Amino acid sequence: MRCIKGIFLLCGMWLSLSAVAQEEMTFRTELNKTRYQSLVEELRCPKCQNQNLADSGSGIAVDLREQVYQMIEQGKTDQEIVDYMVARYGEFVLYRPQHSTATFLLWYGPFILLGIGLLAFIFVVMTNRKRQGRAL
């Protein structure tokens, strides 16, 4: 029984080490490495929903990190890489969606609601003052 547990433990360690070794990437320049790190932190994993590509361990995140690496090494700009990801997976992959009519409420909705609440508060205070003035 101990032997079987040991074999499973060794297999698990071997698989995790091979995954880590696969992630080591060599970049032509330090700028490419910085761009890569910035992009994988800004792009969201399509499977994990609330994890970026850098933090996710899912298979698709590994593939997308490799894709970002390849595109950077091919000389693509950050905007071209982001446009590719958005075209393929939708704006969901962006942690900060672009400003558009479709995302207007996402960007400005909280401020609109805050303004409405402030106006309602002022209205209630003013009507209460008028009522108190009449009561005196």
pLDDT in tens, 52-68: 888 888 898 999 999 99
Confidence of residue 34 (pLDDT cuts 50, 70, 90): very high
Does residue 93 share a domain with residue 107? no
User: Which of the pair, 126 or 25, is modelled with greater confidence?
Assistant: 126
- pTM more than 0.85: no
Least confident range from 68-72, 97-101, 110-114, 115-119: namely 97-101
| Per-chain mean pLDDT for the chain | 82
Rounded mean pLDDT of 25-41? 90
Shared domain check, 123 and 69 = no
- What is the rounded distance in angstroms from the CA atom of residue 85 to the CA atom of residue 67? 10
Alpha helices in the chain (DSSP H): 2-23, 30-42, 59-73, 78-89, 104-135
Residue 31 in tokens: 């700028």
Q: Is residue 89 part of a domain?
A: yes
Query: Which residues form the domain of 109?
Result: 101-136
**Does residue 17 sit within a domain?**
no
Q: Which phi and psi (to 5°) does residue 52 adopt?
A: -80, 175
Assess whether 47 and 84 both reside in one domain. Answer: yes
* Cα 34 from Cα 31, distance rounded (Å): 5
One domain for residues 40 and 90: yes
Q: How many domains does the chain have?
A: 2
**Which pair of tokens denotes residue 39?**
């992009």
Residue 6 forms part of a structural domain: no
